[in-house]
Structures are given as structure tokens and as C-alpha cells.
Amino acid sequence: MALIYYAESIKALADYPTAPLVAPRPDDKPAALPLSAVHEALATWFEANARDLPWRAAECTPWGVLVSEIMLQQTPVVRVLPVWEEWLRRWPEPADLAREPAGEAVRAWGRLGYPRRALRLHAAAVAIGANHEGKVPGTYPELLELPGVGSYTAAAVAAFAFGRRETVVDTNIRRVHARLFSGAALPSQSLNAAEMRLAAQTLPDDVGSSVRWNASVMELGALVCTARSPKCRECPVSGSCAWLAAGEPPPTYTPKGQSWHGTDRQVRGAVMAVLRAAESPVAPELLQRAAADLGFEPAGSEFRWPPCTGSTLPRSSWSAHWRGC
């Protein structure tokens, strides 16, 4: 299976003490692999275990890669897949999206969350048409100039779609690096320069090997070296893991997930659901009116609206309810 891989570029950093790249192991444990062997072991594991994702396929266009990168920000793969596929079916090139009103991008975004990403992706499509003859630019600086594209996304697209050597540092890679090389259960709570330097030190010099390394470490973090329940017996480089060698010390902090229930994010999601379902403009006063009592509450299918009331509304009746108000 032909695959394309993620990567991210970094800027030059001030000197930091070099972290050991291979952790010492007790004599009764398997000998740690040299870094080049760690690279090879992970590349072999990735080839056999990588998920078959459409934006990794050789035939995926740079536009498809860019769309996937924006959608995957803080959103699980399983939720992104159907929306990405429909998006590329409807808008296979940036110009196709740019011709549509921005509101159509938001409507097609569905329930992926953070709908401003849809607006920024639409703006990026317009900019690609205006400044790059309708083609996604292939260099980090050019990508960074697109609306809604930050350092990570610019570098990831440059490598994933155009095969450039960059250094990726996402959440999964930070966690693998922390355990494998630094002996910590979790990385620091925020990305720091020492982590970036370690990532640069461990990146292979060869372009092809570097993108395979980035992809394999990301996948290892997603499937094996997970935050809560790492599957160390399935890890192809467990013999070189500094965290295992240290006796699996516990994390120094407890990660806090983002709350949703009862927050403004929940309310915004509910409002967006109503607006997406509407076939005509929704009057503001309707969003402030208590829901009609339809006389039934099917278990597991109701939706509380407005969030500040005790009223419920079956999901299948959202749009009909609002059109009938």
C-alpha cells in the first residue's frame, strides 16, 4: 500500500544539553537499540500496522491532505472520515469550494466542532485561487501564509503532500519521545524548546526515512503508546524505552480534558445544529423561545433545547420544530 506521511518543520533553537537518545538498560533486559535501529524497527512496524486512511494514499491530492489536516485538529479520525470523504466528493479542488458561499462550508462541516475551521478552510481555498493559480502551494512559507494555516499545518502539508523533510511534534509524538528517550510517563504540559530539540536530534537525515519516522512515531502514539493504557508488549522498541527501564514512573501531573456538558461550547453546537438544518433564515427570537412540548421523550434520542430549559426535542424533529415555530 502506497502511503504518504506527516511531518512538521521547526525553527532553530538555542542550545540545550543533548538528551541521551538510547536509554541504558539493566544487564538482564534486552540491549537497547542504536537510534538507526530504532528508526528501522518503527518503520517496519508501521508498514505492517498503519491504518489505511484515505489522506495517506498516494493518489490523494495536496488539497485532500490540507483538508484532512484542518479537520483532524482536536477531532478523532473516526469522526473526520465520513465528513472528509463527502467534502472531497463535493469539492475535489480548492476552486470548487471557493465558488460556494462560506456558509455552505459551515453547513458541510456538520458536527466536527470548532466550525471556524470551516470558514478558514474556505478562506484558504479563495486565497489558493487568487495567489497560487488554484493549486495548493508546496513550501512551508507559502502554506503558512494561507488563512487558518499555522506552523504545524503548514509543515505537515509540505511533508505529507510534497515529501519535504520536516520535524513533526504533535501530542502523540511528544508522548512517545517522553517515554522512549526521556523516561517520563507524559511530556510536559506545554511544548518546550528542549522537546523540539530532541525531536530534531532523532529525525533521520534522509528525506524518505525522516517522513517515515514521523509517521511511524505518530502512529505508535495513537495505537500502542497511548496516554492511559500503553500496550508495551506490542511496542517494537520497548527494549530501548527509557520509561520502562526506569520502572514505569507515574506522571507528575494529571491531564485535564476539555469539558463540554453545560458549557458555551455545548450551546454553540446546539445553535449550529439548528442553523444547519434550517432551509431558510432563522429569526433570532426563535432561538430564545422555549421548545414546544411534543408530548413524548423517546429514550436516548432527545435533545435538550434551549439548553437553559428542561424541554426536550427528538433529534429527528429539530428542523421541523424550528420551521413550525
- At residue 166, the pLDDT reads 86
Give the integer Cα–Cα distance in Å for 258 and 266: 12
What whole-number distance in Å separates Cα of residue 185 and Cα of residue 15? Answer: 25
- Per-residue pLDDT at 223: 97
Interatomic CA distance for residues 36 and 240, integer angstroms? 12
Round to whole Å and give the CA distance between 15 and 17: 7
Whether omega before 306 lies within 30 degrees of 0, making that bond cis, reads yes
Q: Which of 8, 47, 59, 69 is catalytic?
A: 69
Q: Which amino acid is at 41?
A: A
SS3 assignment, position 6:
coil
Instruction: Report which DSSP code applies to 302.
Output: E
Question: Is residue 302 annotated as a catalytic residue, yes or no?
Answer: no
Q: DSSP string covering 11-69, please?
A: ------PPPPSS----TTSPPPPPHHHHHHHHHHHHHHH----GGGBTT--HHHHHHHH
Strand partners, 139: none
pLDDT attached to residue 144:
94
CATH of domain 1-61+136-251: 1.10.1670.10
Beta strands in the chain (DSSP E): 302-304, 312-314
C-alpha cell at 118: 470551516
The secondary structure of residue 279, as a DSSP letter, is S
Stretch(es) of the chain classified as CATH 1.10.1670.10: 1-61+136-251
17 contact partners, CB below 8 Å, separation of at least 6:
none
Q: Which three cell numbers stand for residue 300?
A: 436516548
Q: What pLDDT does residue 15 have? A: 32
Question: What pLDDT, on a 0 to 100 scale, did the predictor assign at position 179?
Answer: 98
First to last CA, the chain: 53
What is the Cα–Cα distance from 83 to 97, expressed in whole angstroms? 14
**pLDDT (0 to 100) of residue 263:** 67
Single pTM value for the model: 0.73
A 10 A CB-CB count for 181 gives 23
Cα–Cα dist 146/153, whole Å: 10
* pLDDT per residue rounded down to tens, the chain (325 residues): 334 444 333 333 333 333 334 443 434 344 568 999 999 999 999 999 999 999 999 999 999 999 999 999 889 999 999 999 999 999 999 999 999 999 999 999 988 988 899 999 999 999 999 999 999 999 989 999 999 998 888 888 988 899 989 888 888 999 999 999 999 999 999 989 999 899 999 999 999 998 899 889 999 999 999 999 999 999 999 999 999 999 999 999 988 766 657 666 666 666 666 666 776 777 777 666 665 555 555 444 444 444 444 444 343 433 333 333 3
Rg over CA atoms, the chain:
23
DSSP state of 250: P
Cell of 138: 508546496
Cα(237)–Cα(259) distance, integer angstroms: 35
For residue 134, which amino acid is it? G
Phi, psi dihedrals of residue 225, rounded to the nearest 5°: -90, 60
